[in-house]
């Protein structure tokens, strides 16, 4: 365990693929042996190959009880494999089933306490006085409150725990935590408004006897990752053609696409009719679009493929546009890859990445770099050979992110000054 300077193996459980890789990268860049596994491939033999094992449960869009069951069974299997420390990766916008998945880990491992740091200050996602803020806007009034699959309806983090709210306890700072008696089972939910706050929380809790369960996003994971070693040199971005596939309907991703198009990067966007056609992906039109994307990338060095779907102003609570758009973008990206496997692919959105990885029959993922905060460079071993794939959550990144990456990949630049 972390106590007395000894670190055993750790399991990171994420509910979507981009989150799994983003958080896994925090450990990989310290020099820790970090292995991404599909849930069905988790076993003792695989665990023995790495210091940190990352598993994507794909539970964000499932019902709460089903998510609890899946995470409980995975945590129980980890315990049986001798893994003592589990990090439950949560969405920095507080989407998904973390309110049931954190208790699932605690129940499976017999943990009396989980340390939960939900903020990601480096991305201006903070928690102050128990309230979650996105760019200083309470989370329910941010874009995450309008998410069509997982709208966040409460601003206070402990209120999101529902039936488990009775074991969620707020702490404004480490001093308050250290002074509080631990008389019952609890999820300790911490305020944090800066990276300094996150580091201070870790210093206060790292030697807490009996604590084996931690939760939060990549920010807290990055602090914990410091226990595993010293950072090594990250692999540079490859120089090649740059192909972007966006199935995310998040406004942040849409603004990134719009910024890149304004800067002159070619864009092919699907129509609503194409997205709603159940036979579209098997049609000649889909093949023509894939060829057009590959051709544009060959001529201009870059091309973007976007579903055109946007987050609705009001959520209906139904799982409609998002997964359909994501699956379509992922499958189309696979068709483009058939034409040009040597390009650098940027897959935006966890559902899109999952669809793409399944379509190319991804066998394993090696995490090799983080060229921008929240953007992970991977080597994806697939039916098309070794693919260079950048991944990013739909809700992450500055507006000129795609332009900046294009300059670095195709032009050899370091920023977003000019295309």
209 and 79 share a domain?
yes
Q: What is the pLDDT of residue 234?
A: 62
User: Could you tell me if 216 and 319 are in contact, meaning their C-beta atoms sit under 8 angstroms apart?
Assistant: no
283 and 387 share a domain?
yes
79 and 190 share a domain?
yes
Boundaries of domain holding 217? 3-228
Per-residue H/E/C for 340-390: CCCCEEEEECHHHHHHHHHHCCCCEEEEEEEEECCEEEEEEEECCEEEEEE
pLDDT at 320 over 60: no
Q: What is the pLDDT of residue 210?
A: 66
**pLDDT digit string, tens, across residues 348-401:** 998 899 999 999 999 778 888 888 888 989 999 899 999 999 999 888 889 999
Within a domain: residue 418? Answer: no
222 and 246 share a domain?
no
Within a domain: residue 162? Answer: yes
**pLDDT digit string, tens, across residues 62-108:** 999 999 999 999 999 999 888 989 999 999 999 999 999 999 999 99
User: Could you tell me if 57 and 97 are in contact, meaning their C-beta atoms sit under 8 angstroms apart?
Assistant: no
Question: Last residue of a domain, which of 228, 258, 274?
Answer: 228
- Residue 156, φ and ψ in degrees, nearest 5: -80, 125
342 and 219 share a domain?
no
Within a domain: residue 148? Answer: yes
304 and 174 share a domain?
no
Q: How far apart are CA 26 and CA 204, in angstroms?
A: 20
What is the count of structural domains for the chain? 2
357 and 253 share a domain?
yes
Q: What is the pLDDT of residue 315?
A: 37
Cα 83 off chain centre by: 22
Q: What is the pLDDT of residue 181?
A: 85
208 and 316 share a domain?
no
Within a domain: residue 237? Answer: no
**pLDDT digit string, tens, across residues 201-250:** 999 998 877 668 999 999 999 999 988 765 555 678 889 999 999 999 88
List the CATH number of the domain containing 338: 3.40.980.20
155 and 281 share a domain?
no
**Mean pLDDT over residues 249-268, rounded?**
94
101 and 214 share a domain?
yes
Q: Is 151 exposed, middle or buried (0-12, 13-18, 19+ CB in 10 A)?
A: middle
Q: What is the pLDDT of residue 412?
A: 61
- Band the pLDDT of 35: cuts 50, 70, 90: confident
224 and 353 share a domain?
no
User: Could you tell me if 412 and 397 are in contact, meaning their C-beta atoms sit under 8 angstroms apart?
Assistant: no
Within a domain: residue 138? Answer: yes
Question: Last residue of a domain, which of 228, 253, 274?
Answer: 228
Q: What is the pLDDT of residue 303?
A: 98
Within a domain: residue 234? Answer: no
Residue 268's DSSP bridge partners are 305
Please calculate the CA angle 88-204-118 and round it to the nearest 5 degrees.
35
263 and 337 share a domain?
yes
List the CATH number of the domain containing 17: 3.40.50.10840
Within a domain: residue 235? Answer: no
DSSP SS3 for 77: helix
Question: Last residue of a domain, which of 165, 195, 228?
Answer: 228
**Mean pLDDT over residues 186-215, rounded?**
91
Residue 115's DSSP bridge partners are 188, 214
Q: How far apart are CA 361 and CA 89, in angstroms?
A: 25
Within a domain: residue 236? Answer: no
């Amino acid at each position: 365990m972390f106590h007395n300077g000894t670190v055993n193996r750790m399991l990171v459980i994420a509910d979507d693929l981009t989150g799994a890789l983003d958080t896994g990268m925090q450990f990989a860049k310290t020099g820790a042996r970090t292995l991404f596994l599909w849930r069905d491939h988790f076993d003792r033999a695989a665990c023995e190959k790495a210091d940190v094992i990352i598993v994507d449960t794909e539970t964000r869009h499932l019902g709460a009880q089903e998510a609890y069951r899946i995470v409980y069974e995975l945590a129980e299997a980890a315990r049986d494999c001798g893994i003592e420390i589990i990090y439950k990766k949560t969405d920095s916008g507080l989407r998904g089933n973390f309110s049931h998945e954190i208790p699932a880990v605690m129940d499976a491992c017999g943990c009396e306490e989980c340390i939960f740091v939900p903020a990601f200050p480096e991305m201006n996602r903070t928690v102050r006085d128990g309230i979650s803020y996105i760019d200083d806007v309470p989370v329910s009034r941010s874009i995450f409150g309008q998410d069509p699959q997982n709208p966040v309806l409460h601003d206070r983090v402990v209120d999101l725990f529902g039936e488990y709210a009775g074991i969620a306890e707020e702490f404004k700072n480490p001093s308050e935590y250290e002074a509080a008696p631990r008389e019952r089972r609890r999820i300790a939910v911490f305020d944090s408004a800066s990276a300094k706050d996150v580091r201070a929380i870790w210093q206060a809790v790292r030697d807490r006897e009996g604590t084996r369960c931690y939760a939060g996003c990549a920010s807290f994971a990055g602090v914990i990752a410091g226990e595993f070693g010293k950072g090594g040199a990250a692999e540079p971005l490859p120089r090649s053609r740059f192909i972007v596939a966006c199935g995310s309907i998040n406004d942040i991703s849409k603004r990134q696409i719009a910024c890149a198009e304004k800067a002159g990067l070619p864009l092919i966007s699907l129509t609503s009719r194409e997205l709603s056609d159940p036979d579209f992906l098997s049609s000649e039109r889909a093949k023509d679009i894939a060829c057009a994307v590959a051709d544009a990338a060959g001529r201009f060095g870059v091309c973007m493929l976007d579903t055109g779907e946007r987050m609705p102003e009001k959520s209906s609570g139904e799982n409609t546009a998002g997964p359909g758009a994501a699956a379509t973008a992922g499958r189309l990206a696979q068709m483009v890859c058939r034409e040009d496997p040597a390009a650098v692919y940027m897959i935006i959105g966890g559902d899109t990445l999952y669809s793409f990885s399944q379509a190319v029959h991804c066998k394993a993922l090696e995490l090799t770099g983080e060229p921008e905060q929240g953007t992970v460079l991977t080597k994806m071993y697939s039916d098309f050979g070794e693919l260079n794939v950048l991944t990013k959550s739909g809700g992450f990144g500055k507006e000129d992110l795609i332009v900046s990456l294009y300059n670095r990949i195709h032009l050899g630049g370091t920023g977003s000054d000019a295309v």
